[in-house]
A = this chain, B = another copy of it.
Amino acid sequence: MTRMDFKQQLEKYVNIINEYLDRCVTEKELPEKNLYSAMRYSLMAGGKRLRPVLALAVCDMLGGDLEEVLPFACAVEMIHTYSLIHDDLPAMDNDDFRRGRPTNHKVYGEALAILAGDGLLNLAFETMLESIIKSGANEKKARAAAIIAKASGANGMISGQVIDLESEGKQVDTEILNRMHRLKTGALIKAPVVAAGVLCGACEEDIKRLDEFSEYLGLAFQIKDDILDVEGNTEKLGKKVGSDADNNKSTYVTIYGLQKSKEILSDVTNKAVHCLEKFEKNADFLRSLAVYLLEREN
């Protein structure tokens, strides 16, 4: 797949996702209108849309129906967005910028930012349940929603965030670091990939392939994040560089150093790509995506 073909396909996915998300949260002339504004502010702030793109790409790879996968793909993006809003709060990472714009609480205040986050998490489940009901309680859809729910909860992302918080200013070992990343970032990268597989009726072996692919991809994503926090460009990143060091966080770079981290990143990306061999040409986009993530500047 040429770089241009990849970019066009990526843009197509992102447009489908943005159009869907745009319809999910609309401005309303109600007493609570600021809630909808605050939810939209972060949900429509752009970003790579990596998680929902992964779901749609897996769907296409398996020959599934994008319309059926879209609500679940976008639910994951809602969950991702809520987690960013809450992570940025003064009581958490206390970040002022995100995706090149002031963070939610900087614009709407802390109270509304907390509630906008709650609203987006809740909306993710409203969206999935609506889709489940529309299809007469389709079992694959219910299973996909349960996979996403588990990945975003105390067995997944939220525990990763807790480990991250409690590791600040401490030396943590690689076991804890890996657990943190697997939960905080990995779980919500794996969920859309595996959920899309379930939605498209993939066999157990293919689900296992998708599981391994997304495990490596999530790890690569996190290592790249750690590298970008050291040598990235604030303007391109849309957020402050060096915040890990400021917050005394253990990262791949603090543990392995920059050079070794880049080697691990390259190796892990290769392993991810390798998991997709069986899907041959149909996995071209996902392979290109893995390389794109390796080379990204934000």
A160–B32 Cα distance when bound, in Å, is 8
A261–B197 Cα distance when bound, in Å, is 56
B115 engages A161 (CB within 8 Å): yes
Q: How many residues of A contact B (CB 8 A)?
A: 57
Our pick among B30, B86, B136, B161 for the contact of A139 (Cβ within 8 Å) is: B136
A15 at the B interface (CB under 8 A): no
Our pick among B34, B114, B123 for the contact of A166 (Cβ within 8 Å) is: B34
Interface positions of A from 125 to 179, Cβ below 8 Å from B: 125-126, 129-130, 132-133, 136-139, 141-143, 145-146, 149-150, 152-154, 158-163, 165-166, 176, 179
A103–B48 Cα distance when bound, in Å, is 38
Chain B residues whose CB sits within 8 angstroms of the CB of A158 once the complex forms? 35, 115, 118-119, 122
B162 engages A115 (CB within 8 Å): yes
Number of copies: 2
Which residues of chain A have a CB within 8 Å of any CB of chain B?
25, 30-32, 34-36, 39, 82, 86, 89, 91-92, 109-112, 114-115, 117-119, 121-123, 125-126, 129-130, 132-133, 136-139, 141-143, 145-146, 149-150, 152-154, 158-163, 165-166, 176, 179-180, 183
**8 A-B interface contacts by CB (under 8 A):** A31-B159, A86-B115, A92-B111, A118-B158, A125-B125, A126-B153, A129-B149, A132-B132
